[in-house]
Structure formats: structure tokens, C-alpha cells
Amino acid sequence: MASANQVRASHILIKHEGSRRKASWKDPEGRVIKNTTRETAVSQLKAFREDIVCGKAKFEDIASRFSDCSSAKRGGDLGPFGRGQMQKPFEDATYALKVGEISEIVDTDSGVHIVMRTG
């Protein structure tokens, strides 16, 4: 349960050639990531977001199949967190959302994300 000054969120992360760590659970050697431009990552995420928003797909399902974050195995759930625990753009985007809302594209050193606030 998130405390008063905490939020809870799930996210879908797509890493790209500019990401800080160019490897993930689904691409341990980083072969795909190193060859993915930021533009490609963003267009993938925009398509996922569209499918989720219009009800064609569930956030958790897309996260568990496509997210480059290890939170994929939890459907993208990051659990509760407070200010100062996440990269600033990610934190700002999450706090700006209402519960149930999904962000536009968020850029961090890790890659590009869409965030769904869950608490």
C-alpha cells in the first residue's frame, strides 16, 4: 500500500542505442537495443499506448511481453515509491497522472517509457 506521499505505478520501458544500460532480460547481449534508435523505440511505445487506450490490449500484457525492465515479470508494476527514488522525468510524469491514467512518452537515461499510475 502506498503511503500518503508515495505513488504506485507500472511502466513499459523500451531501451535504445542511447540508453544507459544496453541490455535487458529479453536482450541480454543488447544486440537489439544497440540497433534501436530512439525514434523506433518511441514509435513502438506510441503503438502500444494506442492499443492500450483503445482497449485492444492490456497494459500488463504488453509490459510483460515487451518491456525492457525486469518489472515486466510483474506486468510492469514498480510498486510504491516516493520522491527522489526514480529518475526525475519519470517521477514528474508519475506524480502528474491521476490513478488509472497513462502518460505520454517519458524520456530517461534508461530509455523511453509510458507510465500508468496505479496508486
Task: Give per-residue pLDDT as tens, 39-69.
Answer: 999 999 999 999 999 999 999 999 999 999 9
The domain 6-117: what is its CATH number? Answer: 3.10.50.40
What residue spans of 26-66 are helical by DSSP H?
Answer: 31-34, 38-53, 59-66
Predicted confidence (pLDDT) per residue in 7-45, tens digit: 999 999 999 999 999 999 999 999 999 999 999 999 999
54 belongs to the catalytic site: no
The pLDDT value given to residue 2: 54
Q: What local confidence, expressed as pLDDT, does residue 5 receive? A: 87
Domain ranges of the chain: 6-117
pLDDT over 90 at 88, yes or no:
yes
| Residue of 10, 19, 71, 110 with catalytic role | 110
Where do we find the cell 525514434?
39
In order of 43, 53, 60, 68, the CA distances from 71 in angstroms are 21, 21, 10, 8
Task: Pull the grid cell for residue 64.
Answer: 510483460
Q: Let me know if 11 is a catalytic residue.
A: yes
Catalytic pick from 10, 11, 16, 103? 11
